[in-house]
Every structure is written in structure tokens, then in C-alpha cells.
Structure 1
Amino acid sequence: MVENKTPEHLVIEQFGAVRRITITNPRKKNAINLQAYRDLANQISAADQDDSVTVLVLTGAGDFYSSGNDISALLTSERSVEERLESSHASLARMVKAFYSFSKMLIGVINGPAIGIAATTAILCDVLYMEENAYFYTPFTALGLCAEGCSSYTFPKLMGTSKASEMLLLNHRMSAQEALQFNVVADLFKRKDYERKIWPRIQQYGLLPVGSIKATKQLMKKFDLDKLEQASKAELEALAKRWQTEEAMQAVMNFMTRKSKI
């Protein structure tokens, strides 16, 4: 096993042909800040170009996969709103594209709650395994914002219009059992069984011929890539507009106030 802890909130490990990226920001429940956006994009792209990697695994440290976007870091920046939005949206676009353009096997191990951008990008993975007490939560309208991470396309495609609308418009919290029912994840696991059942299975995937994986994945996604690109672009344009509305800023401030009282 080779380990590299260079990125501040990511741990990178290699097990044979399997590389694992673990999001680790325990003080903020593995929230993803602007630098983490960039680091994730860099690491996913690097794994795609590295001949030693067949399978890339994404997971979180501790009890959370990720609590999503670190909104507090965005709000406390000293730069102007326009500068903050331009920088964050460019980094977000690059990270999201790294997910949907990854050419090898991309596996998400959802070890705990996945919220906001963490949930939407996780669903861009090829295969998801989910801890039985974890959940997906996309409170975009509660924040006065809108869908992101290609979820305006992927959620209806995976779940159907009604469940996707419940998630993206009504802030429904999807349990692991629901995620399995709606074909969002491949399998559930108990936390105590991860090292014994799920991880050995993933390591076996690393022995598969990478060229075969890439060829088949390319066929499976042949008609999706353009739609994902279009969805990401449209979402970012809408998100930029939403961030500049009084409605969104008030909703975000209300959310942060409620959060601080928990």
C-alpha cells in the first residue's frame, strides 16, 4: 500500500490497481471547500491518466461521506461576490466533469450521509455501495439555490420524475433502503462488514482488464456525455443567478443560523 496525504482534506491510497480517495475534514463532517474541489478534480484526473490504476474508489472518513459544500468558507471570503462565484463555479465545473468523464471504473462507497454536491457527484459514479444507515440529501430549494452536479439529468433518469422531484424540489432525505429500491446504489452494507465484505470485493475488481472496462463503459455512456455536459453548464448558469438573489442569500443565512444552534 502506498499512501499520500499531500491534499489537505483528502487521503490518497493505492492497493494494487485500486486507488482510494478518502474525504477527511472531520471538524466540518467532511465538507468540501474550494481547495477540495480543485484537489478532487486533480486527483480524479490523475487516476484516469495513471496506468497503474484500474479502479478508483471515493469514500469519506468516519461517520460521514460528506456534508457537501462548505458554505461558511464561501460566505466568509474577503473577495467580492462576483469573484467568489466565478472562482467557485469554475472549480465546481471542473470537479463535476472529472467525475462524469472518468474513463475507468469509478466506485463510491457511501459510508455515511452524503449531502448536496457530495450526493450529486456520488451518483455520477459507476457503482455505489452504501452503508445501511447513510442517506442522500439535496436541500437545494431549502437554500434558495437549484440543482447541481448534473442532478437535473441524472436524478430523473435513475429515479423517475416523481422521486427526483421529491429529492430536488422538496428536499426529501433518501434513505439507503430507498436508494437500493430506486436502483441508485448496487448494494447496502453494515459498517462492521465493510472491511470483510465490500473492500475485498472492490480489490478483486482491480484484477479486471482495464481496457475491457474502458471499452464497455464508453459504450454504456456513449449517449450520456453530451447530456451531462449540457446539464452541468445549465445548472451552473442557473446557480450563478440564484446566488445573487435576495431570496437565496436569506435562505442560506437562515440555514446557517439553524445549523449553528444544533
Structure 2
Amino acid sequence: MTPLQDYSRFRFDRDGRILTVTITGNAVNAVDAAMHDELARLFIELQADEGSDLIVLTGQGRAFCAGGDFDWFDEQIANPAKFRAIAHDAKRIVGTLLDLEKPIICRMNGAAAGLGATIALLCDVIIAEENARIGDPHVKVGLVAGDGGAVIWPQLIGFAKAKELLMTGELIGAREAVGMGLINYAVPADQLDAKVAEIAGKILANPRWAVRWTKTVANIALKQLAVSNSDAAVAYEMLSNMTADRAEAVNAFRERRPPRLTGE
């Protein structure tokens, strides 16, 4: 099969050796079963794509990627086997993104939450619109942050602040994220494309293999951490999906009310 064919949740646009990959879906580009399945092969095929040397990853509309789709959550709660069935792909998404040799810039055009935040932060350079927000609210919907958040957040901002944000599930603004070293830049919306183009140009001005293999070397430690963490992280996330508080947290979030948690 030719790479980058048969995608329903991603759009691909070329400008010379730059390939822009746009996440598409509902209004906030939430991750559903189809998107999760496509993410599990996307970065492998981006690596194999002969027409690109640099990837720009962005979202359609007002969000980058707002995490899991709530209808999909309902399916997983009703039938935990559906959660178990995606465990391998969950690990594969993180692993293949870290394996991608080509530089990848996150153009964070709006909110990035949960798995969306993980994907954004695993990119090489993160450039956000200044009003965008980022966070990992897995705990707010009753889940362990098992899809890579527990790996990348502490590496970027240290364990103390990372654990605070992971355990509270709070989202923070782009400028605050820059200040703590979580992302690279926060710029006004009308300057976002120019900043992405500036950084892309600086990277592409250097020899291809020096850039790719420098990234590869820099990612070795992250890959080792991801491998050592992922089995337990995904397993704990699967367990948390089967708790009573998981179902209540999802219902409460959807109904915009405080959850009635029992500890079960």
C-alpha cells in the first residue's frame, strides 16, 4: 500500500519538502476508534514517506486535539474488552512517534488535552497559539494517564510540577507552558504560521542526516523510558477503566456537575 492513503481523520498537504498533517474529526478533534487506529500507523508511514524531510502536525478548526471522544469512552466502559483491544496500539503510537527520524513541529492551534497533549509534547518543537491550553485530564475522567503523559511531562518540567498537573488534571495556558519549559513558543494566532515557517526553515537549512540522526540520538533516553513504562502504564489505565468512579466521572463531566465519587 502507498503510504498516507486511506485516512479519515488526517489530511496531508505538501509544500516542497514540508508535509503538514492536519488532525480532523469533530469540533475539537477528539480521539475516537478510527483516529486511534490511524495514529497507530501514521508515524510509521510518515517515516517511509519519500517526499518529505520535515513534518508539521496541527489540528483543524479551533482545537489541536482534545483527547478521548466521550461516545468512545461510553463504549469502553460498557465493554472493557474494547479498551483491552487498543492496548497494543496505545503503546505503538508513543513508540512510533519517538522512532520517527524526521523532525516534527507541533503547530498547536488550540487546546491539546490527554492523548492530544502527549502527542504534542512528544514532537520536537511545540509552537502554540497564545490562547491555546494544554493539559492531561485523564484523572478527571477516571483514568490513569497511561498513554505517555507520565513519561513526557516529568522530562520537560520536572517530577514535582508534572505530578501536580497530572494528578489535578488541570489545563494551563500556552504562555505559562512556555515559562515552565513545557513548550517552545506561544505566539498570537496571526503569527503562528510565520513562526512555524521560521523554525522549519532553520531546521531544513541544515544537512538532512545530521538533523535526523541528532534527533534520533536525543530521543534514545525517551524511548528507553517509554519502553520501561508503557506496559505497566497501559495496564493500570485498563484497570482504571473498570472502576465505578470511572463511569461516574465520565457522566459528571458530560453533565457539567461535580462527580459523586465512592472510591470504587
Q: Same fold (TM over 0.5)?
A: yes
After TM superposition, give the deviation of residue 234 of structure 1 in Å.
1.9
2:243 partner letter: T
Q: Is 1:163 equivalent to 2:161 in the alignment?
A: yes
1:230 partner letter: S
Quote the RMSD (CA, aligned, Å). Answer: 2.2
Q: Is 1:214 equivalent to 2:215 in the alignment?
A: no
After TM superposition, give the deviation of residue 141 of structure 1 in Å.
1.6
CA distance in structure 2 between the partners assigned to 1:12 and 1:234 by the alignment: 34
**After the TM superposition, which of the residue ranges 218-227 and 239-248 deviates more from structure 2?**
218-227
Match of 2:252 among 251, 254, 258: 254
- Alpha carbons 1:74, 1:84 under 8 Å: kept: no
- Alpha carbons 1:45, 1:102 under 8 Å: kept: yes
- Alpha carbons 2:18, 2:56 under 8 Å: kept: yes
CA distance in structure 1 between the partners assigned to 2:194 and 2:154 by the alignment: 34
- Alpha carbons 2:95, 2:223 under 8 Å: kept: no
After TM superposition, give the deviation of residue 258 of structure 1 in Å.
2.0
After TM superposition, give the deviation of residue 21 of structure 1 in Å.
0.8
Residues 208-231 of structure 1: per-residue CA shift (max 9 Å, x gap): 322111221122123331211122
Q: Is 1:153 equivalent to 2:159 in the alignment?
A: no
CA distance in structure 1 between the partners assigned to 2:230 and 2:16 by the alignment: 33
Query: 1:56 and 1:140, CA in 2 relative to 1: closer, same or farther beyond 3 A?
Result: same
SS in 2 for 1:218: helix
Partner of 2:261: none
Query: 1:192 and 1:204, CA in 2 relative to 1: closer, same or farther beyond 3 A?
Result: same
CA distance in structure 2 between the partners assigned to 1:144 and 1:76 by the alignment: 15
Partner of 2:227: 229
**Number of corresponding residues:** 254
The 5 A counterparts of 1:71-150 are 71-76=70-75, 81-150=79-148
Residues 134-167 of structure 1: per-residue CA shift (max 9 Å, x gap): 0112112211211133221221121122211221
- Alpha carbons 1:109, 1:129 under 8 Å: kept: yes
1:41 partner letter: A
The 5 A counterparts of 1:44-63 are 44-63=43-62
Task: Give unpaired runs (5+ residues) of structure 1.
Answer: none
Residues 4-26 of structure 1: per-residue CA shift (max 9 Å, x gap): 7842221111221111110112x
CA distance in structure 2 between the partners assigned to 1:34 and 1:47 by the alignment: 20
Match of 1:199 among 197, 200, 218: 197
Query: 1:121 and 1:148, CA in 2 relative to 1: closer, same or farther beyond 3 A?
Result: farther
After TM superposition, give the deviation of residue 107 of structure 1 in Å.
1.3
After TM superposition, give the deviation of residue 80 of structure 1 in Å.
6.4
- Alpha carbons 1:18, 1:53 under 8 Å: kept: yes
Q: Percent identity?
A: 24
After TM superposition, give the deviation of residue 238 of structure 1 in Å.
0.5
2:166 partner letter: L
- The normalised TM-score by structure 2 is 0.88
Partner of 1:189: 187
Query: 1:224 and 1:95, CA in 2 relative to 1: closer, same or farther beyond 3 A?
Result: closer
- Alpha carbons 2:128, 2:192 under 8 Å: kept: no
- Alpha carbons 2:98, 2:219 under 8 Å: kept: no
Task: Give unpaired runs (5+ residues) of structure 2.
Answer: 258-264
Partner of 1:20: 20
Q: Is 1:10 equivalent to 2:6 in the alignment?
A: no
1:65 partner letter: F
